[in-house]
Structure 1
């Protein structure tokens, strides 16, 4: 395990004072369920902490660097910037799945997008506890910066629900509707699944930590699947 930690520290560019924090960040709850070792805990609490730190650093970064954006636009940009898909991409680029401790079911799937994104947030929480907020900022900003500029330059933060409704009405004459089809996880970290409907047809599905975010992702997926963006 020590060798694996050292390899990941090289990838992250962060060397932990307390290696147990890194180990904890890499421990998925499925590993706990399938392991008889006493005293083990999962990365869920670190993920909770990392999520809040991510929200603060991303908001501060956008506020300081994009003074021309309104409050609503800043909110929309941040939603796109820190969504599950983006965080999972960061995790994949770091080959984080190779270091995660997961149950056999999760290992066989390689750890889904949600698992990867949660592990990335747990890493942020671990860095914060080990070295403080500035260390997290130093690690995170180089990842967020190029994506933020792309989102803003290409106007990718435009409200997907409004765009989908506008195009759907023009193309089909139907006003989209949304339905909640699932929710899971503890109250502080709930995942909602929403489908956007055109009449009786499911046009797209999305997930998010609140219904609004899930609806936006469903609308985006519908726009992509129909070739409208």
Structure 2
């Protein structure tokens, strides 16, 4: 299993146990097959920080004309759950994940794939250092970042939705927290955006701000105000 994934990654691990750990979802631990093992959550924590550093460094150096707020918004789009899940799909990561039967049946959702991708970044870092992670990651981040900046896709969705909702419907959107789950270092929030009593969109994120932005984006998409 390792050899096939390593070929896709173009990385040969010195310590294959790190790769196995990165692929081990917590649902696997809860079943007999995973008894005595650790999950990838600690590696995910590390990978998330590495991802933040590499993406911030790249955006800062590559786009000197972007203001601080624009850099923040661009990075939020670049490293959101949906993007990371797509990166995971590009390398067929779901084929190699160790998951419980329930997760296997669902194929592992976006959140599972994104978390595993971050855990993989942590594993590469521990095994081969920051330069190896940069080489692996920037191949994926760089073209997407140029698309995001060129098309101004980092524009604040909340501000845009409020502007258009007021223009079209004469209503100012409001947001409500629907759910939050996960440990304190890795919490996921679900938030709905409402126009009056009507739910216009729902979003998830690692903090309330990113979940609100995603809810606004979904509302913009559903109303055909962006494509």
Same-fold call, TM cutoff 0.5: yes
Match of 2:43 in 1: 46
Which stretches in structure 1 are left out of the alignment for 5+ residues?
none
Match of 1:81 in 2: 78
Q: Secondary structure at the match of 2:143?
A: helix
Which stretches in structure 2 are left out of the alignment for 5+ residues?
none
What is the CA-CA distance between 1:39 and the residue it aligns to? 2.5
- Distance in structure 2 (CA, Å) of the matches to 1:37 and 1:214: 32
- Runs ≥4 residues deviating over 4 A: none
- Distance in structure 1 (CA, Å) of the matches to 2:88 and 2:135: 17
What is the CA-CA distance between 1:13 and the residue it aligns to? 1.0
1:60-209 to structure 2, matched below 5 A, reads: 60-209=57-206
CA contact (8 A) 2:28 2:34 kept: no
Matched residue count: 226
- Distance in structure 1 (CA, Å) of the matches to 2:32 and 2:134: 34
- Distance in structure 2 (CA, Å) of the matches to 1:175 and 1:144: 35
Q: Secondary structure at the match of 2:97?
A: coil
- Distance in structure 2 (CA, Å) of the matches to 1:179 and 1:146: 35
Match of 1:216 in 2: 213
Q: Secondary structure at the match of 2:225?
A: coil
What is the CA-CA distance between 1:37 and the residue it aligns to? 4.8
- Distance in structure 2 (CA, Å) of the matches to 1:159 and 1:37: 42
Q: What is the TM-score with the length of structure 2 in the denominator?
A: 0.98
Which whole-Å deviations, capped at 9, do the CAs of 1:3-36 have from their partners, x for residues lacking one?
x110000111111000000000000000000125
- Distance in structure 2 (CA, Å) of the matches to 1:29 and 1:37: 9
Which whole-Å deviations, capped at 9, do the CAs of 1:113-157 have from their partners, x for residues lacking one?
000000000000000000000100010001000000000011100
Q: What is the TM-score with the length of structure 1 in the denominator?
A: 0.98
